[in-house]
Amino acid sequence: MKCMRIVISVILLFAIKPAYAAADADTDTLSVLSRVEGADMTLYSLYRDYRFSDKDKAMEYAELFLSRVDSLSLEPCLAPLYTEVSDWYEMERCRFSVAIRYMEKALEIYHAASDGYHEALTEYGLAKLYLKKGPIPQDVEICQQGRFVF
């Protein structure tokens, strides 16, 4: 009987721990973003609230949030948001120039953070955007840079 209690306790411990870890990661992201110059956490909260229920509204709040953030900020927590807004402009709005602008900012952040993996993925995404926008010499150069990582 005592052995069964120990087994159940261990199972519950491992079942509950990931929920705490996710909450801690969420709290860490919020605390890091709140320290970024110009970050309006109300807009970020609205973005998070609508992220899965109303993607268009969520992206509008994300874009407002990013427009108020210090443009020189290279906080790594911002890069996925820049990438998500870029993807939305590419897929939902077909506005490739705007998508490129957001993707280039994400690339700048990943480069500053020395995150080679995400930098390569972002370069690949940029190359696709450049090709969709029209043939320019940049797309060949970026494709060659990303090729070496993969």
Confidence class for position 133, pLDDT limits 50, 70, 90: confident
Q: How far apart are CA 125 and CA 99, in angstroms?
A: 10
Chain segment 68-96, per-residue pLDDT in tens: 998 888 999 999 999 999 999 999 988 99
10 pLDDT higher than 90: no
Q: How far apart are CA 12 and CA 134, in angstroms?
A: 55
Chain segment 59-74, per-residue pLDDT in tens: 999 999 999 998 888 9
79 versus 147: which is more confidently predicted? 79
Give pTM, 2 decimals: 0.72
pLDDT at site 49: 94
DSSP summary character for residue 88: H
Q: How far apart are CA 97 and CA 104, in angstroms?
A: 11
Q: How far apart are CA 66 and CA 58, in angstroms?
A: 12
Confidence class for position 143, pLDDT limits 50, 70, 90: low
Q: How far apart are CA 46 and CA 145, in angstroms?
A: 37
pLDDT at site 139: 55
12 versus 139: which is more confidently predicted? 139
Q: Are 68 and 43 in contact (CB under 8 A)?
A: yes
4 pLDDT higher than 60: no
First-to-last alpha carbon distance for the chain, in angstroms, is 53
